[in-house]
């Protein structure tokens, strides 16, 4: 059923509007002048004022435009293309440990360590320091772990100090790691301050880890529950790229972000007052039949077109989108090369976070002979 105005834009008793329709999520996302991010992107930030933005996500143009211009060199197409070999090597190292027929929990075996290792390599972090990355990332997401508020704050402080020291050490240095690149970037005389650099590195660590981690675990679990879709990928490797977009849509790792109305306006005929918080429900928008048709509630690895909003939209479209897609692609390709089937081997356990579609446990079983007859990747 197509949602009506009151269903697509509805007031929540907690004190904010909930926007669940695809069209309205796009409209809000592309209009930062009317719906700003600077007053908070989470409902728990309603009424909070920051002396400086805690993340780039908390900024609006023109400040946000400046930040993207400065950090874009670290995510240029040539940079991402050069990452494929090392990213694939990290995936292979993890996947080769999976035994055919054995029960494996996707989270600790692959989905959790792999993105952390990718980000750590990208940042040039020594191997000895990487164990803390998962803890830091989880501490930054409310309800992503069982940590108390004091424990979370202590870990976040530890992370801030580490990233600040790394940034300062690499000022004036040479190297191709992202910290060095961003610490020394100069675009038309503009540079990132220490605090700005730490802000961005913090966002990269958390967003880069949490998004890919839950996309991989949730996506592979969805395929395990739908053997026909896994079989389609085996039969036609050309579907890998559309499968990645469908996995992003299906898992929607970031469930929702908030904006605040800067002036009186309306959404689908519903009046929105200046100062009203507006929560964008990306997960709901990615199931909207108006945008995805009658199969919106089904997983279809061949879905095309696929206008999902799993990576955001407008000025805040995920700057690391190409990296997330690269990670998903190499994982799918390497698993398809090695196994003919994947099936659930227990129950999935999810986190209680209302921000991240987190997966704590996803036991599966891979089986079958390696796909020796798979088409070469150059043909994909």
29-33, 46-50, 243-247: which range is least confident on average? 46-50
**Annotated catalytic residue: which of 24, 117, 196, 210?**
210
Which pair of structure tokens corresponds to residue 178?
């992202």
- In which residue are the tokens 């890919």 written? 212
Q: What is the DSSP string of 105-162?
A: EHIIIIITHHHHHHHHHHHT--GGGTHHHHHHHHHTSTTSSS--HHHHHHHHHHHHHH
**Annotated catalytic residue: which of 111, 139, 166, 207?**
207
Domains and CATH numbers, the chain: 36-44+64-368 (1.10.630.10)
Percent of the chain having pLDDT more than 90? Answer: 60
**Annotated catalytic residue: which of 139, 285, 310, 318?**
318
pLDDT at 322: 92
1-15, 44-58, 92-106: which range is least confident on average? 1-15
- In which residue are the tokens 């669940």 written? 20
**Annotated catalytic residue: which of 20, 21, 212, 217?**
212
pLDDT at 370: 56
Q: What's the pLDDT tens digit per position in 321-358?
A: 999 999 999 999 999 999 999 999 999 999 988 888 99
Closest residue by Cα to residue 137 from 267, 50, 321, 123: 123
Mean pLDDT of all residues in 16-28? 98
Q: Is the pTM of this model over 0.85?
A: yes
Q: Where are the beta strands (DSSP E) in the chain?
A: 9-12, 16-19, 35-36, 103-105, 256-261, 265-267, 270-272, 277-281, 341-344, 349-350, 359-361, 363-367
Query: Are the C-beta atoms of residues 314 and 68 closer than 8 Å to each other?
Result: no
pLDDT(379) > 50: no
Task: In whole angstroms, give the CA distance from residue 149 to residue 169.
Answer: 30
Comparing 222 with 117, which gets the higher pLDDT? 222
**Is 290 one of the annotated active-site residues of the chain?**
no
Task: In whole angstroms, give the CA distance from residue 152 to residue 353.
Answer: 14
Which pair of structure tokens corresponds to residue 166?
């790394």
Which pair of structure tokens corresponds to residue 243?
């499968």
Query: Are the C-beta atoms of residues 21 and 278 closer than 8 Å to each other?
Result: no
**Is 210 one of the annotated active-site residues of the chain?**
yes
pLDDT(67) > 60: yes
**Annotated catalytic residue: which of 166, 327, 328, 357?**
327
Task: In whole angstroms, give the CA distance from residue 194 to residue 200.
Answer: 10
pLDDT at 336: 97
pLDDT at 366: 98
- In which residue are the tokens 């035994």 written? 99
Q: What's the pLDDT tens digit per position in 166-206?
A: 888 888 888 777 888 888 888 788 888 888 888 888 777 77
**Is 327 one of the annotated active-site residues of the chain?**
yes
pLDDT at 5: 53
Query: Are the C-beta atoms of residues 91 and 118 closer than 8 Å to each other?
Result: no
Task: In whole angstroms, give the CA distance from residue 181 to residue 179.
Answer: 6
Which pair of structure tokens corresponds to residue 263?
């002036």
**Is 23 one of the annotated active-site residues of the chain?**
no
Mean pLDDT of all residues in 44-71? 89
**Is 296 one of the annotated active-site residues of the chain?**
no
């Amino acid at each position: 059923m197509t949602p009506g105005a009151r269903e697509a834009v509805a007031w929540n008793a907690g004190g904010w509007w909930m926007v669940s329709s695809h069209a309205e999520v796009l409209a809000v996302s592309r209009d930062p002048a009317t719906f700003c991010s600077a007053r908070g992107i989470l409902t728990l930030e309603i009424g909070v004022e920051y002396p400086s933005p805690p993340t780039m996500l908390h900024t609006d143009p023109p400040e946000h435009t400046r930040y993207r211009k400065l950090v874009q060199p670290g995510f240029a197409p040539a940079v991402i293309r050069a990452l494929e070999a090392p990213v694939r090597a990290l995936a292979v190292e993890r996947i080769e440990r999976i035994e055919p027929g054995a029960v494996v929990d996707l989270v600790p075996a692959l989905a959790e360590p792999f993105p952390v290792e990718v980000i750590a390599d990208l940042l040039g972090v020594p191997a000895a320091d990487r164990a803390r990355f998962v803890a830091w990332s989880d501490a930054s997401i409310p309800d992503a772990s069982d940590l108390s508020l004091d424990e979370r704050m202590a870990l976040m402080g530890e992370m801030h100090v580490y990233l600040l020291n790394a940034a300062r050490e690499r000022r004036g240095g040479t190297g191709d790691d992202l910290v060095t690149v961003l610490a020394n970037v100069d675009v038309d005389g503009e540079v990132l301050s220490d605090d700005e650099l730490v802000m961005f590195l913090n966002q990269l660590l958390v967003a880069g880890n949490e998004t890919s981690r839950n996309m991989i675990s949730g996506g592979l679990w969805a395929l395990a529950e739908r053997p026909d879709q896994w079989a389609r990928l085996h039969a036609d490797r050309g579907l890998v790229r559309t499968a990645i977009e469908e996995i992003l849509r299906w898992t929607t790792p970031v469930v929702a972000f908030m904006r605040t109305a800067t002036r009186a306006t309306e959404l689908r005929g519903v009046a929105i007052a200046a100062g009203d918080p507006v929560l964008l429900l990306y997960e709901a928008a990615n199931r909207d039949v108006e945008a995805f048709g009658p199969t919106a509630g089904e997983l279809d690895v061949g879905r095309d077109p696929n206008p999902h909003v799993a990576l955001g939209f407008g000025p805040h479209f995920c700057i690391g989108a190409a990296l997330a897609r690269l990670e998903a692609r190499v994982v799918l390709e390497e698993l398809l090369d090695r196994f003919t089937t994947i099936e659930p081997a227990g129950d999935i356990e999810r986190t209680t976070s209302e921000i991240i579609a987190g997966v704590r446990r996803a036991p599966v079983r891979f089986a079958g002979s390696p796909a020796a007859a798979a088409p070469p990747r150059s043909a994909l």
